[in-house]
Chain A
Amino acid sequence: MNFLSDPRWSDALSRLPDYLGNHVRVSLAALALGLAISFPLALIVRRQPLLRDIALGFASIVQTVPGLALLALFYPLLLALAALSLQWFGQGFSAFGFLPSVLALALYSMLPVLRNTITGLQGIDPAIIEAAEGVGMTQRQSLTMVELPLALPVIMAGIRTAAVWVIGTATLSTPIGQTSLGNYIFAGLQTQNWVFVLFGCVAAAALALAVDQLLALIEGGVRLHSRPRIVLGCLGLVALIAATLMPSMARTKTTIIVGAKTFTEQYVLSALITHRLQAAGLSASSREGLGSNVIFEALASGDIDVYVDYSGTLWANQLKRTDIKQRKELLSDLTATLKDKYGISLLGELGFENAYALVMPRKRAEELGIHTIADLAPRASSLSIAGDYEFFSRPEWTALRQSYSLSFRQQRQMQPDFMYAAVTAGDVDVIAGYTSDGLIAKYDLVVLDDPKSAIPPYDAIVLISPKRAGDQTLRQALQPLLGKIDIATMREANLRAAGGDSNSSPDAVARWLWEKVSKR
């Protein structure tokens, strides 16, 4: 198939107005806020060495925090503030998406503006400032008529740097719920859709480059006293902003937002749910790539309306429960607690589990006569195990070890995508995989039974936000999915979605999944 006729290009293109518009909106707001803070700050601190060092030091420290971490930090911070505000003023606010992104990115933009404004003003020939005083200017007049105009090229260079940083870093605001060009990159990395990754990178780079060049035009105009350049640069910027913001403003506000976490299965399921809602005549769109904690809080506060989570995850992470219950019991307990504590409705189970499980190559397991974890236990001391970055610190691992007295020769942490290949190749003997992963079937691996039920159940469940609790159309539209997706079907869907070709987009896989499910 011709490279450019790949349908993923047109898929990517169709999302551009939304992603680009949101990207520009958040970058613009962050840059404006950053400027509004750092510019006056620079004017205040420039003549006081101590304050100046503190301000510059703070901005430098912020700069050393990785962009993703800075964005991630703002979410819990705002969440706490929102809770306080709700308690004190009876009025909360959304700690999701736009606000934390703008705040974090604004902080990120401070250093270049602060530094360049200060150095720009300090670099002015003292004789000129003296002349300003001598001709009878007040301090303010000297600043606005002489010092700032002279420092403007340097300040503009700082704004340019800040703009490029903010536009680049804004791609990282996807996991905290702000739609951006990063949506292409996060989705593409998870579903191995390289067209998306490439598209996202190119779009973000092109935007940054365009803004940089337009600002450079203005900067040059300021330096060379060329009014046409300044006017042209400003017009270009206004046109760019208008062109990118208009489409997203004109779009009808979607009423139902479907969330998805950061892995393949979630992208497929959110696409499936979005399709079903649209088929039922509801307007719906998906918000993908959300962090595990972000997505639950977003649902509780109504920033998103529906998503799929897993019973064991909520049990341990959100309800902080360490006791392990039987499936039915856990589900009914969870349903009641979610309703009481958060107002969240648990619509029902999809029919499969995505649990942690100990996984081995089928041949190896048969050779060793291992069918269950109980069979594995006596041999564990000569075997090695690999898990994802969090598995060995999770309560499931503690429970497994205690129930079966497991003690492995070696335990390693691995990127989840690589674990399956590693165990197939014999680099490790056992992995803590995910039961719904398509690679289990692909590599002919076997999931070891858990006769003591040490691992809690991880039923995939559909959650609905408090404000949509009474929406019967929504409930009706999703009803046909409940109990219809068995583990084999989900594994196949996940395998398809990891295919890396044009039929592997979450949308395409969701359509395939619906075809299978609707016949049941």
Chain B
Amino acid sequence: MVHHDDMTSAAPAIAYENVGKSFEQGHTKAIDDVSLNVTAGEFLAVVGASGSGKTTLLRLANRLIAPDSGRVRVQGNDVRGVDPITLRRSIGYVFQSGGLFPHMTVAGNIGITPRLLGTPAQEIFDRVDELIDLVRLDRSHRNRFPHELSGGQRQRVGVARALAAKPAIVLMDEPFGALDPLTRDALGEDYRALHRSLGLTTVMITHDMAEALLLADRVAVMREGRLVAQGTAQELSNSTDAYVGQLLNTPRRQAERLQELLPKGRT
């Protein structure tokens, strides 16, 4: 099932080892002694409020940020020993509300990383078509500009762009946050399918516990720069941490209430 099994089963895809990171000359501790392994082929969601350090955690993985202390390994290698440009090109990154380049067409945006890697134009052209199909966009969108697309379409382009250079790892920064519920649900499901079929390792950031539980294999909970819990839905519900309890309560109550409100057997 997992394509990269033979290469990556030995080491975790991403390993955080006692990582610390401060901003503003040490005044703000964004990440405080975090250790976390992301297994190859796993879909991990990182949940936390704004300012909990979850985005910083994500950026440490492709060295958009360097750690102050501890070590970040990607596929076994300390990121400090890897050229950051090469590292970033090898990891897919989906930005909050797309982060598309407004002056480039859909094709230009999707093909950007292969272009940076020097892939021949014809190959990029074919790859773009393939990805447009993969993220279930219409090929007629190829030459449109981002401002001509809907929010959901833009985010599909964002996903396609992240996948263009066939990365093993995809990092997603609140990718579906700004979308309406239907689009959000459809996109989430579509991505989950891609994650499986392509054998990706995915780390997704979200502040929505329900989304995290529904999409991810495992959930890590961040609070004030510290990792307070990690595990499957089952494991989290056994947690004694009050904050984790709070986070789980909301979807649980919503689910119960919806159960009462919605007549069964109809969708």
Residues on A facing B (Cβ under 8 Å)? 127-128, 130-138, 141, 145-146, 149-150, 225
Contact = CB atoms under 8 A, between A and B. Distances in A.
B95 interface: yes
A26 B62 CA distance: 52
What are the 7 closest A-B residue pairs judged by CB atoms, nearest first?
A136-B89, A131-B99, A136-B88, A134-B93, A149-B103, A135-B113, A131-B95
A237 B99 CA distance: 36
Contacts of B125: none
Contact of B116 (A127, A130, A137, A149): A137
B62 A134 contact: yes
A133 B95 CA distance: 11
A138 B85 contact: yes
Contacts of B103: 146, 149-150, 225
B64 interface: yes
Contact of A136 (B99, B100, B102, B113): B113
A135 B64 contact: no
Nearest to B143: A225
Nearest to B99: A131
Contact of A150 (B86, B88, B102): B102
A136 B89 CA distance: 5
B155 to A, nearest CB: 13
Contacts of B154: none
B191 interface: no
A174 to B, nearest CB: 43
Interface string B67-110: 00000000000000000011011100101110111110000000
Contact of A141 (B93, B99, B116, B145): B116
Contacts of B89: 135-136
A135 B85 contact: no
17 contacts: A127-B96, A127-B99, A128-B99, A130-B99, A131-B93, A135-B88, A135-B93, A135-B112, A135-B113, A135-B116, A136-B89, A136-B116, A141-B116, A146-B101, A150-B101, A150-B102, A225-B103
A269 B77 CA distance: 86
A130 B95 contact: yes
Given A133-B64, A225-B145, A127 B95 contact: yes
B105 to A, nearest CB: 8
A136 B113 CA distance: 7
A130 B171 CA distance: 14
A149 B109 CA distance: 14
Nearest to A134: B93
Given A127-B96, A141-B116, A225-B145, A132 B85 contact: no
B62 A131 contact: no
A35 to B, nearest CB: 21
Most A CB contacts (10 A, CB to CB) among B86, B99, B145 go to B99
A134 B95 contact: yes
Contacts of B100: 131
A137 B112 CA distance: 9
Contacts of A136: 85-86, 88-90, 113, 116-117
Nearest to B93: A134
A450 B256 CA distance: 117
B74 to A, nearest CB: 14
Contacts of A130: 64, 95, 99
B161 interface: yes
Interface in B188-223: none
Contacts of A127: 95-97, 99
A349 B119 CA distance: 80
A134 B85 CA distance: 9
Given A130-B99, A149-B103, 17 more contacts: A127-B95, A127-B99, A128-B99, A128-B101, A130-B95, A131-B93, A131-B101, A134-B88, A134-B93, A135-B112, A135-B161, A136-B113, A136-B117, A141-B116, A146-B101, A146-B103, A150-B102
Which among A131, A133, A146 has the greatest number of chain B C-beta atoms within 10 A? A131
Contacts of B113: 135-136
Contacts of B145: 225
A133 B91 CA distance: 12
Nearest to A222: B103
A461 B117 CA distance: 75
Nearest to B86: A136
A111 B97 CA distance: 36
Interface string B10-31: 0000000000000000000000
A218 to B, nearest CB: 15
A130 B86 CA distance: 16
B169 to A, nearest CB: 13
A293 B103 CA distance: 54
Contacts of A135: 88-89, 93, 112-113, 116, 161
Nearest to A150: B103
